[in-house]
């Protein structure tokens, strides 16, 4: 006995039961129409079986070929077939059967062919609902009450509730309460979930990819086409779908780019694996074949890769590579400018001889207002703070910075204390003591030679006024990361106590100035002309918060690509060129294999072609025709630079279009996707907390 899910699906959007008093809950599919006023009596022995075609077909067309009911009754046979009540439900493309013979119900829940003419159509006694496979039958008594049915439905993995018209319907609980799956059924359930996730973000691939709008539970809106961001913000419940989310995040953490492509490739590999499973190939043989095919593809990538020298004198190859990454982002209208910013930022902090890039020296700030073209690279530090007093100077030249992590206030005991003031004289003495302490602190700063104070903590109005009187500009409430970056850029030392302040611990900067934006009161400080030019800040402008945040994510991808090139300067060409070349190489290798592994090899080659197919489809090109043409040219000309002309520039040569991707990113995509698919193919059983009751 299975749950009510199958009958819920057949009941025309959940209208399974009818009746004026809601207590009697009979079924009616008379004449394939839903008639809530008709309530035929049901026996306690009645069994409801829902049949769904396993192939895409229209029941009306089958019904025209012959008598549908007669064909099913003939299949069941005997008295059970003669007593079978059958109704097609056209709107759901289902067949509902009612019988009192358990043998007939059991026979209907197995695969069978329905011969209705020239074709043979397989049916199965189950339906798919919410990506869950439900099988079997459910008994409903004529005297069933709402309370008893609720208990039964709760035990059978659902919850009964009523809509605004009083019609009962069933809410299916989450995946943790579903029936236990084993063997091929478990594998196909996993593949279905993975394909669903891959299809969601496939439309975001490439320069013509579409964006997704993600709305969080608290109403925050994010618009992005970054695969890792989309999957991270999705509310994913399925266990295998969560693995794809982690796959994209791993690609983002390690490489920073290719987060969409790696999920698309993994989904395509699983789709090909499903076809191999249907042909009877064992999952382990498929997984091993994919692993060997991946090694073949990685070796071919090494063969077709090119390299160029990374230097501060010739930045154009780096800029072209960054432009490829930014071409699919929201900043594509000014991707040349952003690519130059990314290259300058990375080269400023990179140690080319060691191939090392310290991302902590690159700070990315954003401010709403202005346009993307107003974004700039600051060779110094940008702090989202202003001077503590509006009458302080807006610019300080030849600044000597005292970088403090101690509060600008009188010292306090470490332990809990209480101070009693019983007279005006005592209060005056306390005020005088505080003033003396403030004077001492300011004098210590002045004596060290500082003319600008950067403080991690705040200070009260009296201290602020005293700083103004002493002509000592100050900035308060500067965050810890900014304090560290300022210290690195200016060559100063972070001072935890005033008594430790000295001239050799001061930082220096050519100019510290305050920026204002439009008519708003927002202010920011720029610390420029620092002795350590390795610390830089990228300042991004945009029309609204969503644009600024997406520009930050886009720039992060570009920075990661340039960093990867500094570490490994080998490249391949994009536009699906590398994938097509690898597919040809893997396919050629499959022709040399006489064992069963030739089938996983060919499937792997077909999966690699999913990336150029998606690029062509997202660009509005006929996908199969475009891919076939490029693939034929690659094979004929032996040119691994030919890819999909997504931008319509009239040439498929990605070398001419300067569509460049890093070899590191491409190899990582193939490796990670293959590893995940191997792991999924080796899962043949799902045990959930409620599996004992399934």
622 burial type by CB count under 10 A (0-12 exposed, 13-18 middle, 19+ buried)? exposed
Whether 163 sits among the annotated catalytic residues: the reply is: no
Choosing from 259, 321, 490, 537, the catalytic residue is 259
Please answer whether residues 293 and 601 qualify as being in contact, where contact means their C-beta atoms are separated by less than 8 angstroms. yes
The C-alpha atoms of residue 398 and residue 322 are separated, in whole angstroms, by 36
Please answer whether residues 262 and 247 qualify as being in contact, where contact means their C-beta atoms are separated by less than 8 angstroms. yes
* Closest by CA position to 248, among listed 237, 234, 290: 234
CB atoms under 10 Å from CB of 290, counted, come to 26
The C-alpha atoms of residue 453 and residue 486 are separated, in whole angstroms, by 12
The C-alpha atoms of residue 495 and residue 646 are separated, in whole angstroms, by 55
Choosing from 252, 257, 557, 653, the catalytic residue is 557
Angle at 208 between CA 204 and CA 211, to 5 degrees: 40
Find the DSSP H helices in 37-182: 59-65, 68-76, 78-82, 102-108, 146-155
Tokens 């060691």 belong to 354
The C-alpha atoms of residue 539 and residue 371 are separated, in whole angstroms, by 12
What is the edge-to-edge ordering of all strands in the sheet holding 536-542? 362-368, 536-542, 376-378
Task: Supply the DSSP string of 371-390, one letter for each residue.
Answer: -GGG-EEESEEEES---SST
Choosing from 46, 226, 257, 386, the catalytic residue is 226
Strand partners, 376: 539
- Dig out the tokens for 391 from the structure: 């009458």
640 burial type by CB count under 10 A (0-12 exposed, 13-18 middle, 19+ buried)? buried
The C-alpha atoms of residue 386 and residue 514 are separated, in whole angstroms, by 7
H or E element that contains 526: strand 523-528
Whether 557 sits among the annotated catalytic residues: the reply is: yes
The C-alpha atoms of residue 161 and residue 641 are separated, in whole angstroms, by 59
Whether 226 sits among the annotated catalytic residues: the reply is: yes
Tokens 């925050």 belong to 220
- What secondary structure, in 3-state letters, does 568-597 show? CCEEEECCCHHHHHHHHHHHHHHHCCCCCC
For residue 333, give Cα distances in angstroms to 541, 551, 575, 655: 14, 12, 19, 21
- What secondary structure, in 3-state letters, does 148-187 show? HHHHHHHHCCEEEEECCCCCEEEEECCHHHCCCEEHHHHH
Length of the chain: 694
Whether 690 sits among the annotated catalytic residues: the reply is: no
Please name the residues in contact with 397: beta carbons below 8 A apart, sequence gap of 6 or more. 510, 511
The C-alpha atoms of residue 188 and residue 181 are separated, in whole angstroms, by 10
Choosing from 260, 321, 324, 674, the catalytic residue is 260
Residues labelled catalytic: 226, 259-260, 557
């Amino acid at each position: 006995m299975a749950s009510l899910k199958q009958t819920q699906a057949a009941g025309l959007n959940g209208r399974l039961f009818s009746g004026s008093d809601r207590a009697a809950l009979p079924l009616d599919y008379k004449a394939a129409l839903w008639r809530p006023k008709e309530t035929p009596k049901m026996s306690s022995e009645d069994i409801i079986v829902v049949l769904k075609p396993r192939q895409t077909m229209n029941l009306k067309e089958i019904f025209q070929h012959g008598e549908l009911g007669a064909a099913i009754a003939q299949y069941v046979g005997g008295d059970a077939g003669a007593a079978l009540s059958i109704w097609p439900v056209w709107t759901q493309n289902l067949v509902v059967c009612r019988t009192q013979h358990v043998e007939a119900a059991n026979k209907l829940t197995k695969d069978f062919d329905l011969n209705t003419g020239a074709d043979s159509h397989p049916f199965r006694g189950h339906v798919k609902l919410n990506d869950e496979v439900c099988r079997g039958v459910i008994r409903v008594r004529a005297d069933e009450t709402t309370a008893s049915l609720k208990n039964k439905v709760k035990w059978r993995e659902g919850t009964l509730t009523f809509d605004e018209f009083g019609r009962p319907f069933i809410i299916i609980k989450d995946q943790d309460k579903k029936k236990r799956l084993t063997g091929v059924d478990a594998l196909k359930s996993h593949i279905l979930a993975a394909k669903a996730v891959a299809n969601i973000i496939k439309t975001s691939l490439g320069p013509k990819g579409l964006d997704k709008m993600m709305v969080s539970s608290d109403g925050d809106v994010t618009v992005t086409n970054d695969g890792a961001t989309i999957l991270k913000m999705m509310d994913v419940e399925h266990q295998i779908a969560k693995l794809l989310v982690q796959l994209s995040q791993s690609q983002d953490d390690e490489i920073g780019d290719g987060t969409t492509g790696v999920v698309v490739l993994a989904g395509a590999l699983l789709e090909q694996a499903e076809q191999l499973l249907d042909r009877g190939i064992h999952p382990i043989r498929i997984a091993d074949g994919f692993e060997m095919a991946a090694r073949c593809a990685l070796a071919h990538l090494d063969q077709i890769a090119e390299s160029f020298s990374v230097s501060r004198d010739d930045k154009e190859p780096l800029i072209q590579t960054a432009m490829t990454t930014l071409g699919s982002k929201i900043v594509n209208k000014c991707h040349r400018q952003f690519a130059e910013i990314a290259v300058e930022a990375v080269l400023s902090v990179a140690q080319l001889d060691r191939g090392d890039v310290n991302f902590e020296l690159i700070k990315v700030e954003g401010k709403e207002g202005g346009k993307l073209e107003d974004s700039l690279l600051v060779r110094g530090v940008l702090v989202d703070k202003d001077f503590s007093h509006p009458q302080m100077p807006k610019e300080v030249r030849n600044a000597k910075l005292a970088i403090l992590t101690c509060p600008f206030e009188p010292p306090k005991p470490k332990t809990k204390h209480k101070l009693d003031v019983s007279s005006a004289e005592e209060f005056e003495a306390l005020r005088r003591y505080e003033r003396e302490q403030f004077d001492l602190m300011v004098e210590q700063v002045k004596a060290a030679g500082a003319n600008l104070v950067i403080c991690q903590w705040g200070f009260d109005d009296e201290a602020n006024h005293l700083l103004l009187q002493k002509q000592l500009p100050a900035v308060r409430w500067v965050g810890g990361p900014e304090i560290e970056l300022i210290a690195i850029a200016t060559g100063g030392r972070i001072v935890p106590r005033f008594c430790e302040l000295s001239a050799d611990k001061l930082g220096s900067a050519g100019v510290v100035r305050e920026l204002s934006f439009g008519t708003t009161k927002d202010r920011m400080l720029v610390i420029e002309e620092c002795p350590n030019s390795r610390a830089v800040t990228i300042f991004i402008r945009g029309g609204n918060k969503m644009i600024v945040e997406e520009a930050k994510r886009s720039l992060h991808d570009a920075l990661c690509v340039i960093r990867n090139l500094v570490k490994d300067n080998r490249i391949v060409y994009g536009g699906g060129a590398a994938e097509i070349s690898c597919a040809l190489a893997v396919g050629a290798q499959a022709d040399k294999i006489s064992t069963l592994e030739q089938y996983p090899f060919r499937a792997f080659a077909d999966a690699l072609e999913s990336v150029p197919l998606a690029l062509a489809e997202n660009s509005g090109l006929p996908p199969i025709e475009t891919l076939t043409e490029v693939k034929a040219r690659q094979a004929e000309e032996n040119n691994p630079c030919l890819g999909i002309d997504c931008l319509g520039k009239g040439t498929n040569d990605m070398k001419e279009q300067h569509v460049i991707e890093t070899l590191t990113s491409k190899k990582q995509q193939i490796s990670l996707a293959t590893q995940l698919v191997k792991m999924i193919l080796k899962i043949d059983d799902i045990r959930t907390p409620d599996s004992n009751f399934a």
